Chains A and B, each alone.
Chain A
Amino acid sequence: MLELKNISFSAENEDGQKQILKDINLKIDEGFVVITGPNGGGKSTLAKVIAGIITPQSGQILLNGEDITNLSITERAKKGISFAFQQPVRFKGITVHDLISLAAGQDISVSDACAYLSQVGLCARDYINREVNASLSGGELKRIEIATVMARGTTVSIFDEPEAGIDLWSFNNLIKVFEKMNDTLGGSIIIISHQERILNIADKVIVLANGSVAQEGKKDDILPELLGKANMACKVLTANCED
């Protein structure tokens, strides 16, 4: 279980201090948790706070009851937190096989590495020895990023907008990957997403807006209202266009 207590974070911008996360309190125990909400609402910042990439000014983070607030990125990774970047990082000279081996924490065989790639919809043989560099497209990098988190097999896996840039790949496959991870790992999969089809598999939906938890609860309770609002917004936009 992951628990966030009174997490606040602010950063400097041109207008001075901007409060990005305001006193966030969350308990995450469910298999699938989807964090959604408007752009700039603090979703990615919250994910980075959990992974240890951003240090909040105040608050506490507990993983299975253990206080991990002061642990480094590396220490949290070793305790079982994985993070798939929204914009995956490129490396000159490091191959896809190298990266998956590093993620798995050991030299894994080509066939094992290929198995992960196949699951994310990449024809493994074509990719395994390629460098994770600028020659790969954004969508290819996203899939490799997901494969690295699968190879880690930790109890908490965070995905920051995993569906972005992989339009051609059927959503069913992506969802199957998450479902399989959920079955085998038994921990929590936290997904930042705006996609209705990903929201639909959530055990819990958290709506983050203006740095605060605006709503939190079961999918069935949250989704109708959320999608209703979205439809309303669309209607307003359409109406404006028609004028």
Chain B
Amino acid sequence: MENYELDLLKMIADIDGTPNGAYNIRANGALASRNVTENVLIKEKDGAPGIEIIIKAGTKNEKVHIPVIISESGIKETVYNDFIIGDDCDVEIVAGCGIHNCGSEESRHDGIHSFFIGKNSKVKYVERHVGEGDGTGGKNMNPTTVVNIDEGGYMEMETTQIKGIDNTKRVTKAKLKKDATLIVREKLMTHGTQYAETDFVVDLDGENSSANVVSRSVAKDNSSQLFLSEINGNNICNGHTECDAIIMDKAHVSAVPKITANHIDASLIHEAAIGKIAGEQLIKLMTLGLTEQQAEEQIVNGFLK
């Protein structure tokens, strides 16, 4: 691999050299390397491009890396990855996609990730998106995540996309059974003329299921963002969705939260706030000796930390 490809891998998956544990590295539309362990099986998916990650019941404290990088201009791919996680697991899955496009053709990665989380299993899923390269070709990503959490299961999903991706449409659909929990933390920054859309639909089907979907975003320059979040409370459940956005320059941000209660004991909250950086925050940091620009950077970096 070239150095910039290794850098990209490090950025999206914290991989420095060969990762420990199971991994599957996909580069420019093909398998680059793979490792399986006693508890984590990774194999090609039948009938469609992509892989199946099968984690044995009872697997604890294992990490799985499945990064994707695209460094050739003009590669467009749709990949289906299925994660089948047995009962009573405690695992971390690090996915991510890095596009380095110096060419003039569009590079695009559409990843459809389906999670089947077993009873009482705990999964942390980290996804990072990075785009770089100064070619005129677009760097586009459209991740779809479908989550099914069985009784007592827990999923924490952390997604980050800081600059670099021209066009993204993220769709996340989740269904939760009894006592299942979903926590989503999304961080997003767009600049230039980028467009980012994020669309969450969470069905709280089981008794005492709960979801907390939190998005923090910064829109700079002429970029646009659309945040859609829908939580359906179909049982005794708790749901909370929050969108907090900083708008700068000539950007556009829309937040459309929607909560629906179909059960008398469904407790649902939505919060959405969009605003520019407060003047007093800038002034405070300037009284500490920062320039206005440095103050702005600190506020944005802190907000997205």
A interface vs B, CB < 8 Å? 51, 53, 72-74, 77-78, 81-83, 85, 88-89, 91-95, 98, 102-103, 105, 148, 152
Residues of A within 8 A of B302 (CB): 91-95, 98
Chain B interface, number of residues (Cβ within 8 angstroms) = 22
B278-300 contact mask (Cβ, 8 Å, vs A): 1 or 0: 10110111111111100000110
Q: How far is the CA of A103 from the CA of B295 in the complex (A)?
A: 12
Complex-state Cα separation, A85 to B280, whole angstroms = 10
Residue in chain B with minimal CB distance to A94: B302
Interface of A is mostly: mixed
B292 CB contact (under 8 Å) in A51, A74, A83, A103: A74
B102 at the interface (CB under 8 A from A): no
Of residues 246 through 305 on chain B, the ones whose CB sits less than 8 Å from some CB of chain A are 278, 280-281, 283-292, 298-299, 301-305
* Partner of B287 from A83, A91, A98 at Cβ < 8 Å: A83
Do A77 and B287 touch (CB < 8 A)? Answer: yes
Contact of A53 among B244, B287, B299 (CB under 8 A): B287
Q: Looking across the interface, which residue of chain B has its beta carbon closest to that of A158?
A: B287
Residues in B with CB closer than 8 Å to A82 are 287
Measuring CB to CB, which residues of chain B are less than 8 angstroms from any residue of chain A? 216, 244, 278, 280-281, 283-292, 298-299, 301-305
A220 to B166, CA, bound (A): 69
Contacts of A152 in B (CB 8 A): 288-289
Question: How many angstroms from the CA of A236 to the CA of B35 in the assembled complex?
Answer: 86
Give the distance in Å from the alpha carbon of A103 to the alpha carbon of B286 in the complex: 10
Cα–Cα, bound, A103→B288 (Å) = 5
- Inter-chain pairs besides A53-B283, A94-B299, A102-B288, 13 sampled, C-beta below 8 Å: A73-B286, A74-B286, A74-B290, A74-B292, A78-B289, A89-B280, A92-B244, A93-B304, A102-B298, A103-B288, A105-B288, A148-B288, A152-B288
User: With a CB–CB cut-off of 8 A, which chain B residues contact A148?
Assistant: 288
Please indicate which of the listed interface residues B283, B287, B292, B298 has the most CB atoms of chain A within 10 Å of its own CB: B287
CA distance A88 to B278 in the complex (A): 13
Residues of A within 8 A of B280 (CB): 85, 89
How far is A102 from B280 in the complex, measured between Cα atoms in Å?
A: 16
Complex contact A74–B289 (CB within 8 A): yes
Shortest Cβ distance from residue A151 to the other chain B in the assembled complex, whole angstroms: 9
- CA of A96 to CA of B304 in the docked complex: distance in angstroms? 16
Contact A94 B283 (CB under 8 A): no
Residues of B within 8 A of A88 (CB): 284
CA–CA, A88 and B287, complex, Å: 12
20 A-B pairs whose Cβ atoms sit less than 8 Å apart in the complex: A51-B287, A53-B283, A72-B286, A73-B287, A74-B286, A74-B291, A77-B286, A77-B287, A78-B289, A85-B284, A88-B284, A91-B299, A92-B216, A93-B303, A93-B305, A94-B299, A94-B302, A102-B290, A103-B288, A105-B288
CA distance A104 to B289 in the complex (A): 9
**A89 in contact with B298 given A73-B287, A77-B286 (CB within 8 Å):** no
List chain B residues, Cβ under 8 A from A73: 283, 286-287
The CA of A78 and the CA of B294, in the complex, are separated in Å by 14
Which residue of A73, A78, A82, A88 has the most chain B CB atoms within 10 A of its CB atom? A73
